Amino acid sequence: MLTPLNKKSYMLIEFPSMNAPVGCEELFYRLQLQGITPILVHPERNAQIQGRPSLVAKFIEKGVRIQVTAMSVTGEFGTAALKTAETLLRHNCVHFLATDTHRANRRPPILSAGRDAAAEIVGEEAARKLVQDNPGAVVEGKSFDPGPPISFHKAKSKPFLSRLFGS
């Protein structure tokens, strides 16, 4: 039996470290049919998502919320997790920043360094939402509007002559 995070409307979902499981979108959909909003935790540490962070935007467009580990944003989980976390932050694909503390002696619950690193990327107000406002909504069982992801598609470059002559 699955139990929602706050016994009401949110549930943490964790992928294996290598890929997004086949059928994960179906799982997300079935949870939503039950009134549960899935929160995908630390996707920045998933090898498939590291290679293709735009996958996260597709999940968000279907109502999934995203939680990134603070230590990923500070580089403590390695370069790949750091770069992916930064990319997700820049594309409005992070809704929560958390410690991922399982045992305080191995992974201390220090959120401030991650929040400060996130603020360097998205600004103070957005970083505050990641650690205060959005988690507060979850605790209260309320919904919140994170806004849409920013497109991962690169803007088309200007034709060569336009770049050359500045027109």
For residue 18, give every residue at least 6 positions away whose Cβ sits within 8 Å of its Cβ, in sequence order, or none: 46, 47, 48
Tokens of 54: 């735009």
Over 80: is that where the pLDDT of 154 sits? no
CATH of 10-165, one of 3.40.190.10, 3.20.20.140, 3.20.20.70, 3.10.20.30: 3.20.20.140
For residue 109, what pLDDT is reported? 75
d(CA 130, CA 158): 36
Instruction: State how far Cα 26 lies from the chain centre.
Output: 19
Contact 84, 121 (CB under 8 A): no
For residue 163, what pLDDT is reported? 52
For residue 36, what pLDDT is reported? 92
DSSP 60-129: HHTT-EEEEEHHHHTTTT-HHHHHHHHHHHHTT---EEE---SSTTTS----HHHHHHHHHHH-HHHHHI
For residue 32, give every residue at least 6 positions away whose Cβ sits within 8 Å of its Cβ, in sequence order, or none: 38, 63
More confident residue, 39 or 105: 39
Amino acid letter at 27?
L
pTM of the model: 0.85
Residues above pLDDT 90, as percent of the chain: 73
For residue 137, what pLDDT is reported? 92
Task: Give me the residue spans of the domains in the chain.
Answer: 10-165
Confidence of residue 156 (pLDDT cuts 50, 70, 90): very low
Averaged pLDDT for residues 109-135 = 95
Model pLDDT for residues 40-82, shown as the tens digit of each residue: 999 999 999 999 999 999 999 999 999 999 999 999 999 999 9
Task: List C-alpha distances in Å: 23 to 17, 26, 28, 74.
Answer: 16, 5, 9, 32
For residue 162, what pLDDT is reported? 54
